[in-house]
């Protein structure tokens, strides 16, 4: 298939490489054009504008950092609302609020276009290794048409239903559970350290027992080793996720008390200048609060 791709950050780059490796033709656009070179060297076609990317192929991906960025790419002069053809498909792959997705749905519906959401599950290195997942929300016919694209990026693709907001909610809830799990890990590690127990011993107990799964193994090891750079998911992006979860809960009257603790730990790390550290640095903030750091 031919597909446009807008937003070449760390995740956008590895997603594009997966598409290229699977034989798809990809037209790439980024506001900072210099970021395109590694991908154009790998065979991607450089696009000079949003319009060029929107009209390059069968659909156009966006992988953008926040709600403001994706709404601007869609709604600005020369954006997707104006330039994506009638019936064209916008595949929104970032993590965005339910409110933003509802706005995008309305914009594309009024323009006679189609919105599919496809948030990613996995850090960029996990996507690059072909071990990530995708949850997809959108009209069945258009989702079926785009399945080869999703399959190229990730081996696990879950279809959440016809409403694009469904995939956004699932991604928000997944990040909520993961963020709270990492925060709880930080509390547990601080507790054993306060009693003079080596963190690597506790990490073995966790990851060779009841918690022998990827999330605990990855983040437990990072916490035990106090290794928070480079970041897979940064504190500032984790704080965005926490705020998305709390806003989604408030909108439907769902209390998320653990989410408030999760958010506070991220804010604590932010206050100590750790915005660009991995969000597992919440454990370090917990250690500070425990008199350990």
**Model confidence at 293: pLDDT above 80:** no
Domain limits, the chain:
2-161, 170-289
pLDDT of 259 reads 97
- Is 51 considered catalytic here? no
Does the structure show a pLDDT above 90 at 103?
A: yes
DSSP H/E element including 121: strand 120-121
Burial 74-106 (b: 16+ CB within 10 A, else e): beeeebbbebbeeebbbbbbbbbbbebbebbbe
| pTM of the full structure | 0.94
pLDDT of residue 33: 86
Q: Virtual CA dihedral for 16, 17, 22, 24, nearest 10 degrees?
A: 40
Active-site pick, 45, 81, 105, 171: 171
User: What would the CATH number be for the domain defined by 2-161?
Assistant: 3.40.50.720
Q: What does pLDDT average to over the chain?
A: 97
247-270 mean pLDDT: 98
Out of 1.10.10.10, 1.10.1040.10, 3.40.190.10, 1.20.120.80, which CATH number does the structure's domain 170-289 have?
1.10.1040.10
Two domains, one topology: 2-161 and 170-289: no
């Amino acid at each position: 298939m031919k597909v446009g791709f807008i937003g070449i950050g760390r995740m956008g780059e590895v997603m594009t490489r997966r598409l290229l490796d699977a034989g798809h033709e990809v037209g790439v656009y980024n506001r900072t054009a210099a970021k395109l070179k590694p991908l154009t060297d790998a065979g991607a076609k450089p696009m000079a504008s949003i319009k060029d990317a929107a009209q390059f192929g069968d659909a156009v991906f966006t992988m953008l950092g926040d709600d403001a960025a994706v709404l601007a790419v869609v709604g600005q002069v020369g954006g997707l609302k104006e330039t994506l053809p009638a019936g064209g498909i916008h595949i929104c792959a970032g993590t965005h609020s339910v409110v933003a997705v509802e706005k995008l749905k309305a914009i594309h519906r009024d323009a006679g276009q189609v919105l599919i959401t496809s948030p990613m599950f996995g850090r960029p290195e996990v996507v690059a290794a072909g071990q990530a997942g995708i949850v997809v929300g959108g009209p069945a016919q258009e989702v079926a048409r785009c399945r080869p694209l999703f399959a190229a990026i990730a081996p696990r693709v879950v279809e959440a239903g016809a409403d694009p907001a469904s995939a956004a909610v699932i991604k928000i809830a997944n990040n909520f559970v993961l963020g709270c799990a990492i925060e709880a890990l930080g509390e547990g590690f601080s507790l054993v350290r306060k009693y003079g127990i080596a963190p690597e011993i506790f990490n073995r107990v966790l990851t060779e027992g009841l918690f022998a799964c990827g999330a605990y193994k990855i983040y437990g090891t990072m916490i035990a080793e106090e290794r928070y750079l480079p970041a897979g998911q940064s504190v500032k992006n984790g704080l965005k996720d926490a705020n998305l979860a709390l806003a989604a809960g408030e909108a439907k009257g769902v209390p998320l008390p653990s989410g408030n603790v999760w958010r506070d730990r991220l804010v604590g790390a932010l206050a100590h200048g750790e915005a660009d550290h991995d969000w597992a640095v919440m454990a370090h903030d917990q250690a500070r609060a425990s008199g350990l750091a």
